[in-house]
Amino acid sequence: MRITEIKAVPVSFRVPEGKNVRLGIGRAVKRDAVLVRVSTDDGVTGWGEAHHGRCPGAIAKLIDTTMQDLVLGADPLDSNGVWSKVHRMQLASHGMGAAACMALSAIDIALWDIRGKAAGLPIYRMLGGGNRPTPAYAGGISLGWQAPETLAEEAASYVALGYRALKLRVGDAPGIDVVRVRAVREAVGDAVEILVDANTGYSLDDVRRVMPAYEELGVGWLEEPFPPQDYRDYKLATSCGRVPLAAGENHFTRFEFTRLIEDGAVRHAQPDLSKAGGITECARIATLCSAWRMTFNPHTSATGLNMVATIHMLSAVDNPGYFEADLAHHNPFRDQVCGLPYDLDPQGCVVPKDGPGLGVEIDEAFIAAHPLIEGPCYV
């Protein structure tokens, strides 16, 4: 079997007015993604997803030109070989850094889809996993900066759906952040895990101010208080309180995760399969984290395809943490690209698809109806 074609499909949709969530990276005005189809001479086709990187057209162009030239003719079952070649020729020297890693991530996921289809097995089985449930938290582009009372109502509605953990968006200002978290805690009670995500919006002084309150309110983790390269602040923040730190959605490959792990400040790792290097690389990152007794909690991207792949991985690693469920009130990419990516069981958990490969069928007509919309997705 040989790879005969790689095609990137950038897709977008406008978020309807009134459903725009405001968070540390801006107000969501549209959603973007880059889907990738890899075809073979045996007729087996695989699909993957690249994170948009706030410029989906550029990621798609990179895949359709440079990446395709590097990968055409390769054995699609040799995902390690393909990954190593692209890393050596595009990431390690004179490449495009994060953009190339996002592009490679999509190709790698598609190769695993092909591998599973060729073997007639779901990806979690190919990874040595089982059909194990993973606890999910209500997160994604939801629970943003809003009045405490409406935030508490939204949080309570997710608990009513069966979620036993929630992730709130903080990073606005320490005072109002604490008020919002307290309102949610009072609304959902002590049995529900509350996580918070600052989207890199805090300073070290901000963390010093909020940490005692978050500790009192039983917050399970403080996610990305600082930009990914602020390793010193991450280390200093551990002296501010006992709430664990989480990070990783903006770190790429095991090489960047090595420092994040060895510094010892972050206890919950959050690589995104569509950003950090695909399934091949995230399996390596999960193993590194396991050796340091860190949990593996992948960040999820825009479409159901990434979510499906993430659940496969969580069912195969030995240090699974949470699955991030996107509870955005309007996200057809979650619901229609490949059908509903997951169901929540009565225990608040998700399980992987059992079909070959990713176990889903891509709705190509839906994709064609959502072409790229230029411009920023957050303003």
Give the dihedral sign, CA 32/78/285/289.
positive
What DSSP assignment string belongs to 104-167? HHHHHHHHHHHHHHHHT-BHHHHTT--S--EEEEEESS-S-S--HHHHHHHHHHHHHHT-SEEE
Q: What is the mean pLDDT of residues 31-57?
A: 97
C-beta atoms surrounding 177 within 10 Å: 24
Going by CATH, does the domain composed of 125-350 fall within 3.40.50.1220?
no
> Distance between CA atoms of 101 and 48, rounded to whole angstroms?
13
Strand 3-14 vs strand 30-40: parallel, antiparallel, or unpaired?
antiparallel
User: How far apart are the C-alpha atoms of 250 and 75, rounded to whole Å?
Assistant: 30
pLDDT at 95 over 80: no
Closest to 311 measured CA to CA, from 270, 359, 352: 352
Q: Where do the structural domains in the chain lie, given as residue ranges?
A: 3-120+364-368, 125-350
pTM greater than 0.75 (yes/no): yes
3-state secondary structure string, 62-89? HHHHHHHHHHCCCCCCCHHHHHHHHHHH
Q: Which is the CATH superfamily of the domain at 3-120+364-368?
A: Enolase-like, N-terminal domain (3.30.390.10)
Residue 93 reports pLDDT greater than 90: no
Note the pLDDT of residue 307. 98
pLDDT per position as a tens digit, 225-283: 999 999 999 999 999 999 999 999 999 999 999 999 999 999 999 999 999 999 999 99
Short-list 134, 140, 167, CA closest to 296: 134
Question: Mean of the pLDDT values across residues 319-335?
Answer: 95
From residue 328, alpha-carbon distances to 11, 21, 66, 71, 352 in Å are: 17, 8, 34, 35, 21
Confidence of residue 102 (pLDDT cuts 50, 70, 90): very high
- Asked if 35 and 49 touch (Cβ cutoff 8 Å), the reply is yes
Answer whether 356's CB lies under 8 Å from 122's CB. Answer: yes
8 Å CB contact between 85 and 15: no
pLDDT per residue as tens digits for the range 125-178: 999 999 999 999 999 999 999 999 999 999 999 999 999 999 999 999 999 999
**pLDDT, tens only, 227-242:** 999 999 999 999 999 9
Separation of alpha carbons 15 and 378, rounded Å: 11
